[in-house]
Structure 1
Amino acid sequence: MNDAEGTLAISTHPTPAGPVVVHLAGELDHYTGPRFRLAVEEVLRDPGAGVIADLSDLHYCDSTGMTVIITACRRAQAVGSSFAVAGLSPAMDQLFRMAGIDQLFPLHASVQAASEALRGS
């Protein structure tokens, strides 16, 4: 699935270890958040599929975007799937940690690190 409409591009692809990477590029906010939610919902239709949110190309995330990410994590947990965030820029990493989001789910430096951590869990 590829989606370049608006200010957020979303693509999904499986990893060899099993989790599906949902790559975001652009801005995650009130307007674009529902598209991320739908992408995660689509991945979670496959029983047992884990989700890695690759935010390495995310340039902006407001409180609504953070809420959408938290909701995606809770949805994954509700269906027995794993969820992780990978590739945050230093500024985004600081923002997520200040908001306490790192207490809700793991933040990883890269998709590979997230994939390895999820495989070990």
Structure 2
Amino acid sequence: MNDTEGALAISIDPSPTGAVVIRLAGELDHYTGAGFRQAVEEALRGTGVGVVADLSALDYCDSTGMTAFVTAYSQAEAAGSSFSVAALSPAMVQLFRVAGLDQVITLHPSVQVAVDALS
């Protein structure tokens, strides 16, 4: 699935190990959050070992976006799966830390590290 909603491009890429990588590029906010939530729901329909959000190209995230990450984590847990984020910019790492989300959602330095952690 390749989708562009407003200023957020979303792609869902299954990895050979069974993890599903959701790549986000642009801005995750009030206007684009629904597209991300839909992508997570789609990723969780499969039988993958977990979902990794690749944030390497995410330029902006507001409180709605942060809520979407918490929702994704909760949905994955309810589905018996896992949700983590990878390749965050230093500003995004700081945002996750200030919000306390680094205590709930696992942050990985790269997508490869995140995928490897699931296998």
User: TM bucket by the smaller chain?
Assistant: over 0.9
Cα shift readout 1:101-121 (whole Å, capped 9, x = no counterpart) = 0111100011001011122xx
Unaligned runs of 5+ in 1: none
Map of 2:43 onto structure 1: 43
Deviation at 1:5, TM superposition (A): 3.1
Counterpart secondary structure, 1:112:
helix
Root-mean-square deviation (Å): 1.0
Runs of at least 4 residues off by over 4 Å: none
More strand by share: 2
TM-score, normalised to structure 1, is: 0.94
Q: Which position in structure 1 is the counterpart of 2:22?
A: 22
Deviations 1:13-50 (A, max 9, x none): 11121110000000000110000000010111113441
- Counterparts of 2:44 and 2:5, CA distance in 1: 22
Using the alignment, how far apart are the partners of 1:82 and 1:68 within structure 2?
15
User: Which residue of structure 2 lines up, in the alignment, with residue 78 of structure 1?
Assistant: 78
Q: Which residue of 2 aligns with 1:3?
A: 3
> 3-state DSSP class of the match of 2:5?
coil
The TM-score with structure 2 as length reference comes to: 0.96
Q: Contact 1:43/1:49 (CA < 8 Å) preserved in 2?
A: no
1 CA distance for matches of 2:89 and 2:49?
26
Instruction: Quote the sequence identity (%).
Output: 66
Give the match's secondary structure for 1:88: coil
Does the aligned pair in 2 maintain the 1:76–1:82 contact within 8 Å?
A: yes
Give the aligned residue type for 1:82.
Answer: S
> Partner of 2:116 in structure 1?
116
Matched, 1:31 2:37: no
Q: CA deviation at 1:56?
A: 0.5
Residue aligned with 2:105, SS: coil
